[in-house]
Amino acid sequence: MAACCFRRSIASQLSKVLDLPPENLIKSISAVPVSKKRHVADFQLSIASVTEDSSSESSAQDLHLQAQKLAERLKCDAVVSEISTGPGTVNFRINRELLAKTVLQQVLKDGSEYGVKSELFCTVPRQKVVIEFSSPNIAKKFHIGHLRSTIIGNFIANLKVALGHEVIRMNYLGDWGMQFGLLGVGFQCFGNKEKLKSSPLQHLFEVYVQINKEADDENVKKLAKDFFRKLEEHDEQTLSLWKQFRDFSIEEYIRIYKRLGVHFDEYSGESFYQQKSQEVLKMLEDKGLLQKTVKGTGVVDLSEKKDLSLFSTVMRSDGTSLYITRDLAAAIDRMNKHSCDTMIYVTDKSQSSHFQHLFQILKLMGYDWAERCQHVSFGLVQGMKTRRGEVVFLEDVLNEVRSRMLQNMASAKTTKEIEDPIETAEKVGLAALIIQDFRGLLSSDYQFSWDRALQSRGDTGVFLQYTHARLHSLEQMHGNEQLTDVNVACLQEPDAISVLQHLLRYDEVLYQSSQDLQPKHIVSYLLTLSHLAAVAHKTLPVKGSAPEVAQARCCLFQAARSVLANGMKLLGITPVTQM
């Protein structure tokens, strides 16, 4: 990583002056974000992070004074051409030609691994991670919350894999419970085997809606209870029908996930844990954790004073398990099966207390690994409607975004003849959805807007795709061979330096996202990269420039496109080459 050799060089000089090991200083030296003011510095050291006496009482004046004293003891060398101070920082400007040469060589050499090979990650142990995400309920609509869970979980999995971790992508389906009693009865009344095969999600949803209208009818209630009881008793005919519901639904989900560019290593579900949840209840009882209430339900006391002021219900009065009991069984089973280091659950924030209870009960049961389980929660999306009305299925959203994008592309003056406009519209549309979703904190609710998401200018996924396609066609026009002997003296214009400085920061942005699992850092970085590349594309023409200058600029744009593509892929976006 380009930034690493510069950080190491600065740290090595600092370590002699501060009498600290260089490795302790690496993370205190950060690349300076590009701003309109055009910083002369490329890296800065925060004084507060390296001085022992910089308590919170230290005034800004003290820190500035300390920065000045430290700067006076440092010398410029072959790497650092200028040292200055800012508010509580020592700033380092890298030799301009060395900056260009090192960044370009490193980006083009590392390719898709640029940034992830950084020493910032050398202290991060490689782990085995189970990530549970998407997890729709069979026969219920795949609502927009499931879309958020799917793209967020996919991003976390992509990031973990890129950083060298072993990841198991798991889809934990809602495929059990009393609603299957109702669905079974509904299918016996209104079901159609052919429709079940051809469009299972749509058909089962329609059946469920129809039977729900009669759900208060005592006879229907009794039939539904009987159907579910038979299911729990593994009655062959009942189980066979339920299996068809599940298998056909999974087949259709796989097809839809393929459109999203998402795959799973394992399809699990609540149904797997029917028996095992009874074993969990037995374990809770043996450990003295299961308490019976007056109503006959089973609860686990989670209060500090053990006065039942906070508890979790884990058993119905008839002895059957609940959702949380099945989740307990699933967590224990996964840990036994995969021996993973950590488990991540991606669901909306309304389930936060459910996961707090889940992890707390696991700890009470003596499972220390519960400490390493994590719930990544996200907010709600309002206002996502298609032209036909409220979103019922994920496919509605994908079709809508594709058709709107096709329409926009057809009316745009810049659109060229494209080999496969439908596929391009789908990829660009998906980028629009993902960037609109990932721009803020995941836990924030946001108002969805088709018009805002699909704008070709501004901070959108469409703009990222447009920039990538434009840089790609520049490469095609001016030879896209790997460029080596570039004269970096031709890349000293401010707009070229801004792109190089920004490329320098990529590993820090990846590190930030790896720490808090928030995609917004990468999104913000890629949008800035696209804006900087767009400006450079205008002010640094390749066409009509002297061969040496054209080659150097080509190399700069190739590096920008490479990092842009890497970041987009991490977010779950397939970069397009024509638009």
Identify the H or E element spanning 503: helix 494-504
**Hey, which residues does 84 pair with through a beta bridge?**
91
pLDDT at residue 173, rounded to an integer: 94
According to DSSP, residue 137 is labeled B
pLDDT at residue 491, rounded to an integer: 95
Q: How far apart are CA 336 and CA 318, in angstroms?
A: 29
Q: How far apart are CA 96 and CA 78, in angstroms?
A: 11
As a whole number, mean pLDDT of residues 461-471 equals 96
SS3 521: helix
As a whole number, mean pLDDT of residues 458-486 equals 86
Of 43-52, 324-333, 358-367, minimum mean pLDDT range: 43-52
pLDDT at residue 457, rounded to an integer: 82
- At 168-195, the pLDDT tens digits run 999 999 998 888 999 999 999 999 999 9
Helical axes 394-411 vs 236-260, angle rounded to 10°: 20
**Contact (Cβ atoms closer than 8 angstroms) between residue 347 and residue 377:** yes
pLDDT band at 75, cuts 50/70/90?
very high
As a whole number, mean pLDDT of residues 240-265 equals 92
**Contact (Cβ atoms closer than 8 angstroms) between residue 490 and residue 497:** no
Helical axes 96-110 vs 494-504, angle rounded to 10°: 50
More confident residue, 394 or 498: 498
- At 3-15, the pLDDT tens digits run 889 999 999 999 9
Helical axes 461-477 vs 547-571, angle rounded to 10°: 140
pLDDT at residue 56, rounded to an integer: 55
Identify the H or E element spanning 381: strand 381-382
Helical axes 494-504 vs 520-539, angle rounded to 10°: 160
342-348 vs 128-132, strand pairing mode: parallel
**Contact (Cβ atoms closer than 8 angstroms) between residue 502 and residue 115:** no
* Catalytic positions: 140, 143, 146
**Contact (Cβ atoms closer than 8 angstroms) between residue 425 and residue 402:** yes
Residue whose entry in the numeric block shows the structure tokens 């949008």? 527
Neighbours of 323 (CB within 10 A): 16
Nearest alpha carbon to residue 261 among 141, 391, 426: 426
- Whether residue 389 is predicted with pLDDT greater than 70 in this model: the reply is no
539 CB-contact burial (10 Å; exposed 0-12 / middle 13-18 / buried 19+)? exposed
According to DSSP, residue 371 is labeled G
Neighbours of 327 (CB within 10 A): 25
Q: How far apart are CA 173 and CA 272, in angstroms?
A: 10
* Strand residues in 120-241 grouped as ranges (E): 128-132, 166-173
- At 539-575, the pLDDT tens digits run 999 999 999 999 999 999 999 999 999 999 999 999 9
pLDDT at residue 381, rounded to an integer: 85
pLDDT band at 385, cuts 50/70/90?
low
Compute the radius of gyration of the chain from its Cα atoms. Answer: 28
For the chain, percent of residues with pLDDT exceeding 70: 94
Six-digit token pair at 370?
A: 């519960």
More confident residue, 69 or 392: 69
- Whether residue 359 is predicted with pLDDT greater than 90 in this model: the reply is yes
- At 96-145, the pLDDT tens digits run 999 999 999 999 999 999 999 898 998 889 999 999 999 998 877 777 77
Q: Which residues of 284-313 are buried (b: 16+ CB within 10 A; e: fewer)?
A: beeeebbeeeeeebbbbbbeeeeeeeebbe
pLDDT band at 21, cuts 50/70/90?
very high
pLDDT at residue 409, rounded to an integer: 85
Backbone φ and ψ of 101, nearest 5° = -65, -50
Six-digit token pair at 211?
A: 């039977």
pLDDT band at 479, cuts 50/70/90?
low
- Whether residue 55 is predicted with pLDDT greater than 80 in this model: the reply is no
According to DSSP, residue 33 is labeled P
pLDDT band at 154, cuts 50/70/90?
very high
Nearest alpha carbon to residue 394 among 156, 175, 145: 145
pLDDT at residue 387, rounded to an integer: 61
Q: How far apart are CA 188 and CA 259, in angstroms?
A: 32
pLDDT at residue 339, rounded to an integer: 96
Backbone φ and ψ of 296, nearest 5° = 95, 0
Identify the H or E element spanning 344: strand 342-348
Q: Mean of the per-residue pLDDT values for the chain? A: 91
- At 301-317, the pLDDT tens digits run 999 998 989 999 999 88
pLDDT band at 52, cuts 50/70/90?
low
For the chain, percent of residues with pLDDT exceeding 90: 71
Identify the H or E element spanning 159: helix 144-162
* Strand residues in 121-261 grouped as ranges (E): 128-132, 166-173
- Whether residue 54 is predicted with pLDDT greater than 70 in this model: the reply is no
pLDDT band at 455, cuts 50/70/90?
confident
SS3 505: coil
Six-digit token pair at 11?
A: 């740290």
- Whether residue 353 is predicted with pLDDT greater than 80 in this model: the reply is yes
- Whether residue 38 is predicted with pLDDT greater than 80 in this model: the reply is no
Q: Which residues of 401-427 are buried (b: 16+ CB within 10 A; e: fewer)?
A: bbbbbbebbeeeeeeeebeebeebbbb
As a whole number, mean pLDDT of residues 365-380 equals 96
Backbone φ and ψ of 390, nearest 5° = -65, 145
Question: Of the segments 382-391, 430-439, 483-492, which one has the largest average pLDDT value?
Answer: 430-439
As a whole number, mean pLDDT of residues 76-91 equals 94
43-46 vs 29-31, strand pairing mode: antiparallel
As a whole number, mean pLDDT of residues 437-464 equals 89
- Whether residue 272 is predicted with pLDDT greater than 70 in this model: the reply is yes
- Whether residue 400 is predicted with pLDDT greater than 90 in this model: the reply is no
- Whether residue 344 is predicted with pLDDT greater than 80 in this model: the reply is yes
